[in-house]
Structure 1
Amino acid sequence: MTDQQRNARYALAILFGINLMNFFDRQIAGALGEPIRIEFGLNDTQLGLLATVFTLVYAAVGVPLGWVTDNWLRTRLIAVGVTVWSVLTAASGLAWNYTSFLLTRIGVGIGEASCAPASQSLIGDLYPPERRARAMAIFMLGLPLGLFAAYMLSGVIGQAWGWRAAFMVACVPGLILAVLALFIKEPPRGAVEARTSLALPVSPYRLVMRIKTMWWIVLSGLLYNFSVYAMNVFQTPFLQRFHALGLKDANTLSAVSLGLTGIVGLWVGGWLGDRLHMTRPNGRVLVGAVALLLAAPCVFLALQQPKGGVVMFTALMATSTALSFAYYSTVYTAIQDVVPPNVRGTAVSLYFFAMYVLGASFGSTIMGALSDYFAHHAMLAAGAAEMAESFRATGLHNAMYVIPALLLLCSGSLFAASRTIAADMKAMSSGHAVACA
């Protein structure tokens, strides 16, 4: 094994661990949403706003950090970012009211904004195109495993020692990974491309925006992440309210149905994406489009389950997650296929900015506002004068039906991307995209 191969494997292992902690620290607030809501006296709109503010800051900071990714040592940027978000995750456990908790989550968002552009840019320079989807799938395994660990540990720790302790525990592994990231050897940009275009364009942002496929991918990202962030914030509260589960049991089911089964989708999606890509340029995005088309009815049927029907609910949500996680290993790799190596950090940061600002950031707040609206309507329909938990359960249940509709729209945008990606890949490989800038 060459030094380059050893470095690539070491880097991928560390980046996987960092991505796992990225989603672990991000999801703790969702896993512990009910005890946080009760302690601080919040409604669902305020609970959703925690994720909205986090996401908006994450997106805004990510754009300049994308430029930094293309112009500075990516390993050092990652190490600094991991340190910042790990320390501030621990600080979240010291919050004394809603405002102080919100401020610490903003700090976590600033730190985490360094992870995706720099990590995906490194993977693009460490692995050749024919192996990139599988490498990206390994990196993105941090997402389902991070969600799984966040739900499982938060449920156990939160029930045993209170919700604040879970935030403290999350700090230590992040700091260790930050140090290990400094030992990754920085690869040359475009090192594994058959043809590289390393002359900087006049405007990297303009270059990325000229790629038609990126517009469809961005649209798919905002639709997909709207639904995913809404579900991640509210599924555990939904199981507690509608199906009357305790904190630990609700988080255990969420850990399996929203986290663990995603591993199947990442691996199978990455493998199928690479296989189909060998015979047709649009193979990867087609795999993602079909997977989401099948995921939508699973969510709808899960929400149709009666109170107490948690086994079938979990099975259907797990199936939906397994299918929809193919999005990450196929669509994220498609970005690498159509964007020149020297602006991939910029491309990923723009993609994240658009999908988070226009999609994910509104998912949790709009879901919370819909939940409050339907809860209020249920209260009025019952002739009650005060809000009861049963009305909150009904409100959240009704609001969650927006998710399968969004998954169908996301599938449609990926089918549209499959019609433009071949031409954009040809332009990138020939260097035409850089010339046009």
Structure 2
Amino acid sequence: MAPAASPGIARGGPRDTSLYGWVVFALSFGLLISDYMARQVLNAVFPLLKVEWALSDAQLGLLSGVVALMVGCLTFPLSLAADRWGRVRSLALMAALWSFATLFCAVAATYPQMLLGRVMVGVGEAAYGSVGIAVVISVFPQRLRATLSAAFMAGGLFGQVLGVAIGGEIAASHGWRTAFAVIGLGGLALAVAYPLIVREKRIAAIAGPDAAAPNTPERAPLRALFANRSVRLAYLASGIQLFAAGALPAWLPSYFNRYYAMPVDAAGRMAALFLLICGCGMIMCGMASDRAARGRPDRKILLASGYGFGSAIALSLALLLPPGLPQLVLLGIAMFLVAGTTGPAGAMVANLTPAALHGSAFATLTLAHNLLGLAPGPIVTGRVADAVGLLDALRILPAAAIISALLFLAARRSYLADLKTV
């Protein structure tokens, strides 16, 4: 007889880790890094584009936010298609598309052409995060879900680190077009390698029958994605928290360039350091959530709320101080906590939805992330910055984190009862 599932954990997945599971994680993680490098390299060259094409902050914010907007609009239908057509082949196709789109950005001659390239980057990236995490959690035990969700999503932050750092360095020495070209070619190489190593049938064999492989006729109804109060609040709270977590990576290079008088490459390195702090915080907060939730699954929600309140307090204090070391320390604390909710939220969604629909469930979470946070964060901040300056625009971000923290607290009231119905 198979062992009973841990308290508060949905069925599905192997009992133990495997070497092949880690290979799948490494390759999926690598593609996610490529995904966010393609997304973030633009922000590293904001100052150069602003001067060369005489762009406003609102136009720059649109170039950044339109990717998340396309992801938000397309993630659900494309993830649903991937659940049925085949997750591995879908991931490889997505990676090829965003890589070619990044190469198109390298040769863009005008702002409208660059905007078109960024739209296509968003189309390619639309379902990668949701389908990729569904593949990853299917080949690992249930007890690691918050850690894996946080670690996988942290790949996005590490991709942003590399996109900003490498993009800034290349742009400073060889021009911004070369930065786009290098990152596009790297993603294309990974897109070719991925389906040669990661195989759909082998993943299905490891995941077990509860994972319901694509093309299986008996599937859970889509209404199961929203069947309980807790999962609906998890989508909402996690998405709103990423308003701040999406705006900061987009505008930190410009902030250091304007308020610390750093050149493009130095501002990129400084921003990359803070994004690295954010990625480490995401992983460590996810691990803390898994540990705290042993025997008490609702504790992960308390921690998620704490991460939201903590990031709001630290960011508010940082932006009240003048440029200098104290501000940088508080900004580092804020960055460590600001995306810490992704691990607990990912585990909540996995635990509260059927395994057969995990691709679609994470697509719904990605939809919330992008439409509530990652898309409007950079765009709204850019528009406000045109009116009142970048510093005052950044000071609105803590409000989103406070709202998110309150929503997580509301979800805790029904979480244990909802788990019993899954």
Using the size of structure 1 for normalisation, the TM-score is 0.86
Task: Answer yes or no: is the 8 Å Cα contact 1:128–1:193 preserved in 2.
Answer: no
Task: Answer yes or no: is the 8 Å Cα contact 1:298–1:320 preserved in 2.
Answer: yes
Tell me by how many angstroms 1:313 deviates.
2.8
Amino acid at match of 2:219: L
Alignment of 1:344-423 (within 5 A): 344-374=358-388, 395-423=389-417
Task: Answer yes or no: is the 8 Å Cα contact 1:222–1:355 preserved in 2.
Answer: yes
CA distance 1:399–1:367, change in 2 (3 Å): same
SS for the counterpart of 2:199 is coil
Tell me by how many angstroms 1:328 deviates.
2.0
**Alignment RMSD:** 2.4
CA distance 1:220–1:153, change in 2 (3 Å): same
Identify which of 27, 31, 37 aligns with 1:18. 31
Task: Answer yes or no: is the 8 Å Cα contact 2:245–2:339 preserved in 1.
Answer: no
Identify which of 320, 344, 357 aligns with 1:343. 357
Between the two proteins, the alignment pairs up a number of residues equal to 403
Identify which of 82, 87, 107 aligns with 2:95. 82
1:192-236: CA deviation from partner (whole Å, max 9, x where unpaired): 5889898324x41x2212221222122213312222222222221
Cα distance in 2 between the residues matched to 1:180 and 1:210 = 38
Task: Answer yes or no: is the 8 Å Cα contact 1:157–1:166 preserved in 2.
Answer: yes
Cα distance in 1 between the residues matched to 2:243 and 2:287 = 26
Structure 1 residue runs without a partner (length 5+):
375-394, 429-437
Alignment of 1:173-212 (within 5 A): 173-182=186-195, 183-186=197-200, 187-188=203-204, 191=207, 199-201=218-220, 203-204=221-222, 206-212=223-229
Whether 1:330 and 2:349 are equivalent positions in the alignment is: no
Cα distance in 2 between the residues matched to 1:270 and 1:170 = 29
1:153 maps to what in 2? 166
CA distance 1:195–1:105, change in 2 (3 Å): closer
Amino acid at match of 1:222: G
Alignment of 1:131-280 (within 5 A): 131-182=144-195, 183-186=197-200, 187-188=203-204, 191=207, 199-201=218-220, 203-204=221-222, 206-257=223-274, 259-280=275-296
CA distance 1:195–1:164, change in 2 (3 Å): closer
Task: Answer yes or no: is the 8 Å Cα contact 2:304–2:340 preserved in 1.
Answer: yes
Tell me by how many angstroms 1:189 deviates.
8.9
Cα distance in 2 between the residues matched to 1:348 and 1:172 = 28
Cα distance in 2 between the residues matched to 1:27 and 1:74 = 25
Task: Answer yes or no: is the 8 Å Cα contact 2:16–2:140 preserved in 1.
Answer: no
Task: Answer yes or no: is the 8 Å Cα contact 2:129–2:153 preserved in 1.
Answer: no
Aligned structure 1 segments of 4 or more residues deviating by more than 6 angstroms: 193-198
Amino acid at match of 1:114: A
CA distance 1:4–1:230, change in 2 (3 Å): closer
Structure 2 residue runs without a partner (length 5+):
1-14
CA distance 1:213–1:193, change in 2 (3 Å): farther
Whether 1:106 and 2:123 are equivalent positions in the alignment is: no
Task: Answer yes or no: is the 8 Å Cα contact 2:318–2:327 preserved in 1.
Answer: yes
Tell me by how many angstroms 1:414 deviates.
1.4
Using the size of structure 2 for normalisation, the TM-score is 0.89
Tell me by how many angstroms 1:144 deviates.
2.4
Cα distance in 1 between the residues matched to 2:180 and 2:28 = 21
Tell me by how many angstroms 1:75 deviates.
0.8
CA distance 1:195–1:42, change in 2 (3 Å): closer
1:245-264: CA deviation from partner (whole Å, max 9, x where unpaired): 1111111111111x111243
CA distance 1:30–1:86, change in 2 (3 Å): same
Cα distance in 2 between the residues matched to 1:228 and 1:89 = 23
2:4 maps to what in 1? none
Task: Answer yes or no: is the 8 Å Cα contact 2:127–2:363 preserved in 1.
Answer: no
Tell me by how many angstroms 1:16 deviates.
0.9
Cα distance in 2 between the residues matched to 1:49 and 1:195 = 38
CA distance 1:305–1:248, change in 2 (3 Å): farther
The percentage of aligned residue pairs carrying the same residue is: 26
1:125 maps to what in 2? 138
Tell me by how many angstroms 1:325 deviates.
2.9
